[in-house]
Structure 1
């Protein structure tokens, strides 16, 4: 006979098992790629890069972006002989933190790799590039890292967190953040006037 206490315990055990499965599954998704030793090895496994970035010393950075649907961008630096010097994920948190006000679009493009999409907003004068990055919560549909440009220079960065069903987008911005839902208008943190939400229409 199942008592209320035993039923509660079974339910709790089931929930914990499901949570553990999700956690382990998430760990598998973010397993870093194996270390490569040569450009030929990288190309054989990854195919042609989405971009090649030459360096003054003769080395080259190979970019392997997974946008618009993925959440990583593998960068592999090879020397003039084709030997791999280092490799990294351009969309890792420490690399995202390197985006600073005043950087040019070319500098950001090279730092973070191919962006997912670009939006232009006449009222704010901003051009916004965004990248899919790993979701910051299992409750989210997506998390986007956004870089805001005015006249081709970075003015700030922000993140967009998209939740399922209810249509709300929570937007956090460094250097003048704001919280929003899908309805405007919103107070612009820099120019000080009201304008429509820049990501109106996404995911609804």
Structure 2
């Protein structure tokens, strides 16, 4: 039961064809953020960060009709991030970020989003946007491997690190489990 409650914190159900703003809010609750667009429409943002890998956006016309809906963290949408975009433009495009890392010597800020990965279910994939002076300079992806436990799906490495080198894999430094 606890697992179901925790899993619910990571995201919203798969998108379905909503037709009206009232239907979206009745199903998903209040949005994380509302963006006001130049044409008078609004975009309702439903972020799932830091643990989810999707971010649903619903564009609503002035009369409440849903005119567009999409996953802000889809590969097609991630590809729309361009060099020179501002922080606000990226937030409007991708939604709420997971975290920010600041690098004082380079003057760089790296914002990241958890996205759906191409690897095993034990790894977490992140999409990173690198900013200098509030403008995008590049994007990258990173993969976070598990520190301990199952790797390569055959159950080695519990408390001893993972990979080819016993005790020196992703579990370094070795530490015993508190069983």
Pick aligned residue for 2:81 from 96, 99, 104: 99
Task: Tell whether 2:94 aligns with 1:118.
Answer: no
Pick aligned residue for 2:52 from 70, 73, 77: 70
Instruction: State the alpha-carbon separation in 2 of the partners of residues 112 and 73 from structure 1.
Output: 7
After TM superposition, give the deviation of residue 125 of structure 1 in Å: 1.1
Write the mapping of 1:11-50 to structure 2, written as runs, cut at 5 A. 32-50=14-32
Instruction: State the alpha-carbon separation in 2 of the partners of residues 157 and 104 from structure 1.
Output: 13
Question: 8 Å contact 1:38–1:82 — kept in the other structure?
Answer: yes
After TM superposition, give the deviation of residue 141 of structure 1 in Å: 2.0
Structure 1 segments (4+ residues) deviating >4 Å: none
Determine helix, strand or coil for the equivalent of 1:80. coil
* Partner of residue 9, structure 1: none
Determine helix, strand or coil for the equivalent of 2:131. strand
* Partner of residue 142, structure 2: 160
Pick aligned residue for 1:61 from 35, 38, 43: 43
TM-score (norm. length: structure 1):
0.64
Runs of 5+ consecutive residues of structure 1 not aligned to the other structure: 1-28, 167-204
Question: 8 Å contact 1:132–1:142 — kept in the other structure?
Answer: yes
* Partner of residue 130, structure 1: 112
After TM superposition, give the deviation of residue 95 of structure 1 in Å: 0.3
TM-score (norm. length: structure 2):
0.73
After TM superposition, give the deviation of residue 139 of structure 1 in Å: 5.7
CA RMSD of aligned residues (A): 1.8
After TM superposition, give the deviation of residue 32 of structure 1 in Å: 3.9
Greater relative CO, 1 or 2 (CA 8 Å, sep 6+): 2
Instruction: State the alpha-carbon separation in 2 of the partners of residues 139 and 47 from structure 1.
Output: 28
Runs of 5+ consecutive residues of structure 2 not aligned to the other structure: 1-10, 149-179
Pick aligned residue for 1:147 from 121, 129, 134: 129
Q: Which has the higher helix share?
A: 1
Task: Tell whether 2:66 aligns with 1:84.
Answer: yes
Question: 8 Å contact 1:64–1:75 — kept in the other structure?
Answer: yes
Determine helix, strand or coil for the equivalent of 2:88. helix
Instruction: State the alpha-carbon separation in 2 of the partners of residues 51 and 72 from structure 1.
Output: 15
Instruction: State the alpha-carbon separation in 1 of the partners of residues 90 and 68 from structure 2.
Output: 20
